[in-house]
Chain A
């Protein structure tokens, strides 16, 4: 697999690691460098001599240093040395034992996992399971009823008073929803605390959010009568989870060459969520892969969440989708290989087409909060200090990018391909097409 510097830097867990990795991308700091079709390896002189290796199939690396970051700066340094076909790492060598053992171990783990996914589910105590599920349903229903009462009362009393009350009422309601085992809804409610008084349009924005929650509560009350897929969306939006095994064995399966189009990290207290948007180059399907990091630990990087993904990578894989009326979130069921590829960004040429797609998606799944966007030809501009994207018909949407000026500079007033997501009436730009390469727009959210 060949890869670019930008793609390697996109793997960095934070900006500090990226900078440290760059400093180690000097042959003078390395010994015993080598690479072949399966792996890259070398010894890096740090506080001690560290053994560094990278699996070429997915650019996952391992290092003997004590860093808790993943990948560490040594792995990044090694990848950067070999990036863009660099000659600093001699090619064609036989895989050394310490690398081969690790590759074998990875391969073995992948086989075991696949076997586990294929294996029939272990026998479970169905009666006890159903009893636990019924108890949870009861607790969730009771919790949602109480929350709806509070919301209705808020509507009667008026939102104006909220500006004086701060975050306390929202935190209190969120905590009660956590107790009622509705964690996803609890998180959504906790985030609303930022809205009251936050700008001139805070009241319509808050009302819209509360209204959607109101619809969700209403839908939950009628869960049994909803189509199965939509019911799954409602449950998921409230906080029910679907096990990985269930998704891998029963989810809708789609095989394709999947282009990673964007990456974004969101942080909530102790949890960090890394989202990757994928686009099937043949099926035209989009998919969302989530990776999680709890309390500063490395992001989950198992095979089912794709290992090391980065914008511009094309993964030949079978995905299994979570049940949904508009399936987006998915897991990797099988990866057959991956490599950064030169592609022309697919997608919609005008916003009119894009928002027609969005309308169709919302018609099927009204609780969608993010929608993937691929625009092969839009012009980023700064207007009154704010970023906008303008399509070929002269239509503009508000946009956001970690470094808007970089985006505007790259485009230079001419159409470029942009991948991102539509959420909350603005377009979050995640990657830009340069030549035939997709480049992530920033690591900023990971610092």
Chain B
């Protein structure tokens, strides 16, 4: 008799069913020793006990066919390094994790097997921009492991396991894989890529459509215009914005011409006053400020045709409709063409916009078009305005500059970005700037690192003496912690300030300092265990 059948008797009870049940052959002789007149309940209990011990002693394992996974291609790091790697993972500091991946990769090692599950648990977004590198470090064991866990399936198409066939990746991959496959398709054959995208465009979700559409930036040409125009009618604002951004790169497109006409009609230089020609000329020679352009009155109601060109008509709460429209309209014109139209050098244009009564939307629009066209020189100009914004800037200005500043920074070289950040240590981080990953270069040269530290330490001292609670350069410190060369040794030790009776230091500076030193310490330990 099997266990479950005895259990069936027990479920119903011996008052409803006989306790007698066939037992395995060897147990029958044992059960025969039980007294005949034993109470039925006790009898079932003892039979169950005999059966349980008998089964425990005679446990028979099932069978399982094993598949042996392929060997890894790279050696594992030394076991001593595993503890540091686990701590780095536990820190949850993405730049440090990226630095670590690069370090292991340069050493030609893979990620240690025991720590593969927590690495995969981080999720794909943590490794954005490093997916190929991650693929190499996961190696074959990582891919084998990922293939067994639904939540880690994203790691199956990376590096060593990357699907060599971009068509398959484009048709079957997840969004990031598809974007990569599409980008390579676009590089190889721009027209075919665009047509392939157009064929499936409506089937994707908004975020995927926007990400794929953005890939058209590479190799953009007049042949793309018609598809981009159609995207201006997309149901998603995100997609429409990408379409506008790309059409801005096609100055001869119908959309760009329409937008230019619209904006040029609204913005023009005021006519010189009588005799102004001479006086204006003399003023110019003496370096006087350029004339402020006239803004033709905006209509009280928006033109429906604007909407067809991707202008959002309904302003968010707290922002005036006209300012909202103007910012968007200015953003539809290439910044250099606008400067040309107004007859001003870009620097003079930015300066005059800053002094204009509509300075907020004009600067926002100009900043956006600059970010979209990716003009390095103009980006530097715009950032200098963001660093010292005109008085009384409101929600429209700060919301947009926070969004746009990373894009404007991305137009600059790494050295230029670092130089700006180093200046901010001295002069204070501008309120319109958000310090995010990617702002600082991933590695500092010795010279740049010394310059950074030379300004960081006085900035800390200035904070100690000030009454400020906020430590605006703290995020910069943490980004620098993974970029500073370890060879600087003791120069990487930040000053320890007295915390007693100083809550500002205790709650704002000390946590940032400890985190900074912890990151440096972890890097030093890893570099010691795995020297390059």
Question: Which A residues lie at the B interface, using CB under 8 A?
Answer: 5-6, 19, 22-23, 26, 28, 84, 148, 151-160, 201, 203-204, 207-215, 218, 351, 355, 358-359, 362-363, 366, 379, 381-383, 388, 390-391, 394-397, 403, 405-406, 408-410, 412-414, 425, 434-435
- Beyond A211-B52, A214-B46, whether A155 also contacts B10 by CB under 8 A is yes
Q: Which 3 A-B pairs have the closest CB atoms?
A: A158-B13, A211-B48, A152-B41
Q: Jot down 25 A-B pairs with beta carbons below 8 A, ordered by A.
A: A5-B80, A155-B41, A155-B44, A155-B45, A156-B14, A156-B41, A158-B10, A158-B15, A159-B11, A203-B11, A207-B7, A208-B55, A209-B52, A210-B45, A211-B50, A211-B52, A214-B46, A362-B53, A382-B149, A390-B66, A405-B117, A409-B115, A409-B117, A409-B145, A435-B79
In Å, the complex CA distance between A396 and B46 comes to 30
One of A158, A211, A394, A434 near B49 (C-beta < 8 A): A211
Q: Counting CB contacts under 8 A, is B284 at the interface?
A: no
Q: Counting CB contacts under 8 A, is B39 at the interface?
A: yes
**B interface residues, tally (CB under 8 Å):** 61
Expressed in whole angstroms, the minimum distance between the Cβ of B176 and any Cβ of chain A is 23
Residues of B within 8 A of A204 (CB): 3-4, 6-7
In Å, the complex CA distance between A269 and B141 comes to 41
**Most chain A CB atoms below 10 A, which of B13, B14, B90, B115:** B13
Q: Contact check, B69 vs A156: say whether CB atoms are below 8 A apart.
A: no
Q: How many A-B residue pairs have CB under 8 A?
A: 171
Choose the segment among B56-64, B272-280, B363-371, B419-427 that binds chain A (4+ C-beta atoms closer than 8 Å).
Answer: B56-64
Q: Counting CB contacts under 8 A, is B271 at the interface?
A: no
Expressed in whole angstroms, the minimum distance between the Cβ of B278 and any Cβ of chain A is 71
Q: Contact check, A5 vs B83: say whether CB atoms are below 8 A apart.
A: yes
Residues of A within 8 A of B87 (CB): 22
A396-B64, A434-B79 provided; 10 other pairs, C-beta below 8 A? A19-B90, A152-B42, A160-B12, A213-B49, A214-B46, A408-B148, A409-B113, A412-B141, A425-B59, A435-B79
**Most chain B CB atoms below 10 A, which of A158, A213, A390, A391:** A158
Expressed in whole angstroms, the minimum distance between the Cβ of A206 and any Cβ of chain B is 8
Q: Counting CB contacts under 8 A, is B116 at the interface?
A: yes
Q: Contact check, A412 vs B66: say whether CB atoms are below 8 A apart.
A: no
For B148, give the chain A residue with the smallest CB separation. Answer: A382
Q: Counting CB contacts under 8 A, is B229 at the interface?
A: no
For B69, give the chain A residue with the smallest CB separation. Answer: A413
Instruction: Tell me the interface secondary structure of chain A in the complex.
Output: helix
Q: Counting CB contacts under 8 A, is B40 at the interface?
A: yes
Instruction: Tell me the interface secondary structure of chain B in the complex.
Output: helix
Q: Counting CB contacts under 8 A, is B521 at the interface?
A: yes
For B514, give the chain A residue with the smallest CB separation. Answer: A23
Q: Contact check, B114 vs A208: say whether CB atoms are below 8 A apart.
A: no
For A201, give the chain B residue with the smallest CB separation. Answer: B4
For B121, give the chain A residue with the smallest CB separation. Answer: A405
In Å, the complex CA distance between A397 and B60 comes to 9
In Å, the complex CA distance between A159 and B12 comes to 7
Q: Counting CB contacts under 8 A, is B309 at the interface?
A: no
For A368, give the chain B residue with the smallest CB separation. Answer: B56
Q: Contact check, B62 vs A212: say whether CB atoms are below 8 A apart.
A: no
Interface residues of B in 10-35 (CB under 8 A from A): 10-16, 19
Q: Contact check, A412 vs B113: say whether CB atoms are below 8 A apart.
A: yes
One of A395, A409, A434, A435 near B61 (C-beta < 8 A): A395
Q: Contact check, A158 vs B12: say whether CB atoms are below 8 A apart.
A: yes
